[in-house]
Amino acid sequence: MADRIEREIEEILKKIDNFPDRSKSGRPPPRRQPPSGGGVLQRWLARISLRKVMMWALFAVIVAFFMRGIPGAYWLLIGALVVFVTAFILSTRGGPSANRYEKRWRGQPLDLSGPSWPDRIKAFLKGKKRA
């Protein structure tokens, strides 16, 4: 057990030279933005989240609902509902932009889920038999 801990400490100490330099304030250096070939519009659109799209679509639905007398408000209501539902489905679906990644420790995947309820029942019954 002690040998394994010593090996882990030695590995960490060997890898400490790869840490990024920190400034005098203790903060890491700022990241450089990768050069992008897109224009201003593309960068602006990339910053818009689905949450913002849903918020503005809901706002448009409310405005169009109360302003039914204005020409085109009916079509605005339908369009806003379509945008809201689409953004909602995309946000719940996940996809590549979701923050789902496999947690790893030292290159090995971690299983952080607890035991299932049948396993808990078995462990409980085994504990009862011993007592």
Domain boundaries, the chain: 47-93
Bridge partners, residue 109, by sequence: 104
Please tell me the predicted confidence (pLDDT) of residue 83: 92
CA 61 to chain centre: 28
Instruction: Grade residue 47 by pLDDT with cuts at 50, 70 and 90.
Output: confident
What angle separates helix 73-93 from helix 50-66, to the nearest 10 degrees? 150
Question: What average pLDDT does this structure show over 5-29?
Answer: 72
Radius of gyration of the chain from its Cα atoms, rounded to whole angstroms: 27
